[in-house]
Amino acid sequence: MGQMKALVMDIEDMLSAGWDVESTAKYLGAPLELIEEIYENLNGPDGGGPDYDDLSYDAQHRDHDGQPDEAQEWHDFDPDC
């Protein structure tokens, strides 16, 4: 895993655990702007939840493991289905 991805995961974990933005930035030695962006991706700009229209590509596809979905597997098995 890349260092940046590991840092982002640490930031997300800390913010989800209740750390505030400033304390997280100071503890990890990361730029405050990065922490704020990740906070907004997690909680939305108003703090009420994610704003899926404004999420970066990485945040939107974070859970994609690179494996094909069921429809792709069936297509690969039987293209005429």
Between residues 76 and 24, the one the model is more confident about: 24
Split into its structural domains, the chain has a count of 1
Residue 22 banded pLDDT, cuts 50, 70, 90: very high
pLDDT (mean) for 27-40: 91
Q: Which residues constitute the domain of residue 67?
A: 3-77
> What average pLDDT does the structure give for the chain?
78
What is the reported pLDDT for 48?
60
Whole-model pTM: value is: 0.54
The closest of 40, 59, 38, 56 to 48, measured between CA atoms, is: 40
In this prediction, residue 77 carries a pLDDT of 81
CB 35 within 8 Å of CB 25: yes
User: What mean pLDDT do residues 38-54 have?
Assistant: 67
